[in-house]
Amino acid sequence: MAEPSYFLVLLLFFCSLFLKSQSFDFVYNGFNGSDLVLDGYARIKDKALKLTDRSQNVIGHAFFPKPIPMFKNSSLDVSTFSTHFVFQIVPSDANRGGYGFAFILSPSTQLFGAQGGHYLGVLNPSNDGKSSNHLFIVEFDTVTGYNETSDRYGNHIGINVNGMNSIASESASYYKGTQKKEDVDLEEKEPIQAWIDYDGLAKQVNVTVSPLSVSKPIKPLISIFIDLSPVMKDYMYAGFSAATGEKKASSHYILGWSLKLNGFSDPLDVSQFSPIPAEQSSSSQNKLKRALIVTFSVVLFILLLALLSIFVYRKVMKFDVLEDWELDCPHRFRYKDLHVATRGFKESEIIGVGGFGTVYKGVLRATGAEVAVKKIISNDTLKGTREFAAEIESLGRLRHKHLVNLQGWCKNKSNLLLVYDYVPNGSLHSLLYSSKKGTVLSWEQRFNIIKGIASGLLYLHEEWEKVVIHRDVKSSNVLIDRNMNARLGDFGLARLYDHGQNSHTTNVVGTIGYIAPELTRTGKASKSTDVFAYGILLLEVACGRTPVVYQPDRNVILVDRILDCLQMSNIFDAVDPKLNSTYTIEEMELVLGLGLLCSHRKPEARPTMRQVIRYLNRDEILPVFDNLNSFGSKRADQIRSRFKALGLTDDSIITTSSIHSSSVGEMSSSSFEITGR
């Protein structure tokens, strides 16, 4: 009887740990002293969160400060979540107000460029409907909707994804029982409660509303099936956004709010809410506005002179003049904020140095978020600006969990700055070659890293709206996050072109050891040249050696060493000795073979990144290892002969050493424009 009891205790213990790791919840029974992230008009007033007042063209945002882990452990499915809040809308006493508010899940607490009116302070005409927004929105709208067809009557509730067109919409009401509906006027000056529930297993969203005096109805107002996994990022922020317009305005209040991950949100204690204070009438406000206008007219001339002086100063000094490439770029930071964040670009904050600039760790004073600030350095101002623009154009609109996220940029005088997510564990290169004890990457971590890089390259090559050629895949451009996942960064050399077209680049760029041999002849980068660099990276991760080891008497080429070991019938002699033979033989054999195949001298012999993913996931068997003996010298002889048949021999591989020692075709090595970083 002792053994079952012991097993039951262990089971309960591990279950509690799992549930604890998945838990995330909070409750606000009023907002006094709360730590919400507020933006725009939003403020705390008399224990209530006030998003807007009844002024024209006002926007207010409020977010819970901590990001929510949206995905289950080791799962691609969005976690179940539930939120409950109480709101009150106070319209203008002259006519009905507007425009409403929205509950949102956003990858950031900053909604840059958002407009009021029908956009509810969430989006604008240029980004409305784009899949890169990663926004889940439930709107509580009080005027004729953004989409006249679906929201024609106003006073409605809608579910939106990435834009203001509702995928489901209903007039505000609630069910009494399961059949009879009662209308709810969102502007009836009384508190209303709302529930938003998402079932991650069934992939179903339910939205329910009712007056504060009515308990949660059994039947939801809106219930649709939608998979939110493509919309959600790993971490999202929950919050509210409200807006007024030019002719219509209301005060929007949130009185209480709760949210829970993997469970139903906690009930709110209505007794702790404070009544909404009486607001001034429109006539009183108009009198106040007239008085303010008279007062402001006294100093208007001085203000105009000041603005004119600033304009002339910037025009003459040519500071902050926007160029064409700047117009469609992501958020622009103020140089002052980045200077403060990096403590004046102090040397102690440097976390990386490359050929194109220095990277500093920074902490944004407004949000407390950690960022990495890359300061571009170039003697050639035009070239530096060109590389700067290339990185913004490419990385600024890319969104993938295995790519470094570009938050924004800054251009001030001769300073060119890029702001990224801070990735705490540094580069793959630093971890591979670190001499510190306890920093050796395990084989499990290495295999996970190379699969992550492959996933990021597949997104760049085939899954984004354009083809992106990175052109500088290497270990120092792979950053490792807190969970030891890989993120490919540094897009300063990247080039974009449309699917179905060919790249037009004609200069050889990249880093010695990772440059595909055909680049030295044609100068044209392609998806295949990225695959070549990825193949070298595979061998580097497996062997713990740089692609080229420079020595006084001769240069040791990594590919040559692996082929030597292959000729000696033991390819595992090339494996990183730091692993102490602690690795999965089949996986190591796969990585070494795939690395050699990806770095084949002939581009047409290399696999695509989609094929690479299939090999790494064991969906397909690498041709070299198909139908082999299980073990022994016979298997080794078969592998060696198959590599030879594929053209992978010492004399057929064009290595970096051959670039320096001889000419290729009629072009000498001295004519190459090779950029190493």
Q: Which amino acid is at 402?
A: H
Alpha-carbon distance 405 to 298, whole Å? Answer: 48
Pick the catalytic residue from 421, 472, 490, 576: 472
Q: Is the pLDDT of residue 496 over 70?
A: yes
pTM assigned to the model:
0.50
Q: What is the pLDDT of residue 145?
A: 61
Q: What is the DSSP string of 143-196?
A: SS-SSTTTSTTSSEEEEEESSSSEEEEEESEEEETTTEEEE--TTSSS-EEEEE
CB atoms within 10 A of CB 343: 14
Q: Under 8 Å CB-to-CB from 311, ≥6 apart: which residues?
A: none
Q: What's the pLDDT tens digit per position in 253-267?
A: 999 999 999 999 999
| CB contact at 8 A, 514 and 598 | no
- Are the beta carbons of 503 and 469 closer than 8 angstroms? yes
Do residues 44 and 226 touch, judged by C-beta distance below 8 A? no
Instruction: Pinpoint the alpha helices (H) of 550-670.
Output: 558-567, 585-598, 609-616, 633-645, 656-661
Q: Cα(430)–Cα(479) distance, rounded to whole angstroms? A: 10
Q: Is the dihedral of CA 606, 449, 375, 107 positive or negative?
A: positive
Q: Which pLDDT score, from 0 to 100, does residue 644 have?
A: 64
Q: CA-CA distance, 396 to 452, in Å (whole number)?
A: 20
Type and span of the H or E element at 478: strand 478-480
According to the annotation, is 413 in a ligand binding site? Answer: no
Q: What is the mean pLDDT of residues 387-406?
A: 75
Q: What angle do CA 159, 161, 166 make, to 5 degrees?
A: 45
List the one residue out of 473, 447, 462 whose CA is nearest residue 537: 473
pLDDT of residue 148: 53
In Å, what is the CA distance from 9 to each residue of 20, 22, 200, 434? 16, 20, 29, 42
As a whole number, the mean pLDDT across the chain is 82
312 class by beta-carbon count within 10 Å (0-12 exposed, 13-18 middle, 19+ buried): exposed
Closest CA to 221 of 304, 138, 293: 138
| CA dihedral for 39, 41, 47, 48, sign (positive or negative) | negative
- Would you tell me the crossing angle of helices 527-543 and 609-616 to the nearest 10 degrees? 30
Whether 475 contacts 514, CB under 8 Å = no
Digit-coded pLDDT (tens) for 550-602: 877 778 889 988 888 888 878 899 999 999 999 999 999 999 999 999 999 99
Residue 134 neighbours by CB distance under 10 Å: 18
Which own/partner contact pairs does 386-392 have at CB distance under 8 Å and 24+ positions apart?
387/356, 387/492, 387/493, 388/416, 388/418, 388/492, 389/325, 390/491, 390/492, 390/493, 390/494, 390/495, 391/418, 391/490, 391/491, 391/492, 391/494, 392/325, 392/329, 392/330, 392/418
77 included as an active-site residue: no
Residue-level pLDDT at 608: 96
The amino acid that residue 285 corresponds to is: Q
Please give the single-letter amino acid code of residue 2.
A
Contacts of 413 (CB under 8 A, 6+ apart): 319
pLDDT at 376 over 70: yes
**pLDDT per position as a tens digit, 10-25:** 444 444 444 444 579 9
Residue carrying the six token digits 């052109």? 471
Lowest mean pLDDT among 76-85, 340-349, 410-419, 524-533: 410-419
Residue 643 phi, psi dihedral angles, 5° rounding: -60, -40
pLDDT at residue number 351: 87
Query: Which pLDDT band holds residue 388 (cuts at 50, 70, 90)?
Result: low
Residues 444-493 have pLDDT tens digits of 999 999 999 999 999 999 999 889 999 999 999 999 999 999 999 888 78
Domains of the chain and CATH, by start: 21-269 (2.60.120.200), 324-421 (3.30.200.20), 428-671 (1.10.510.10)
Q: CB under 8 Å to 495, separation ≥6 — which residues? A: 390, 394, 468, 469, 471, 503, 505, 525
Tell me the two tokens of residue 461: 């090559």
pLDDT at 328: 52
Between CA 670 and CA 673 the distance in angstroms is 8
